[in-house]
């Protein structure tokens, strides 16, 4: 499965575009964390942020499994 992602993560232009999008999404979740008083939304934003940060490590994970 990870092998199928090599084309995406090793294409500099695509990878940078994906990372920019992920950074933007993290910023949106961060704003939710700072502004919400709803516990459920707070936990959802925390979970989303954790997953998005994990996605930023995808390139290293894919390339370490040769």
- What is the per-residue pLDDT for 65? 83
| pTM score | 0.89
Q: For 6-35, how does the pLDDT look when each residue is reduced to its tens digit (9 = 90+)? A: 999 999 999 999 999 999 999 999 999 999
Q: Which of 35, 39, 58, 57 is nearest to 47 (CA)?
A: 39
CA separation for the pair 8, 14 (Å, rounded): 6
């Amino acid at each position: 499965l990870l092998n199928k992602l090599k084309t995406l993560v090793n294409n500099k232009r695509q990878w940078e575009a994906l990372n920019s999008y992920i950074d933007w999404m993290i910023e949106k979740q961060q704003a939710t964390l700072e502004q919400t008083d709803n516990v459920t939304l707070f936990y959802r934003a925390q979970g989303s942020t954790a997953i998005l940060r994990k996605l930023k490590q995808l390139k290293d994970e894919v390339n370490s499994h040769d």
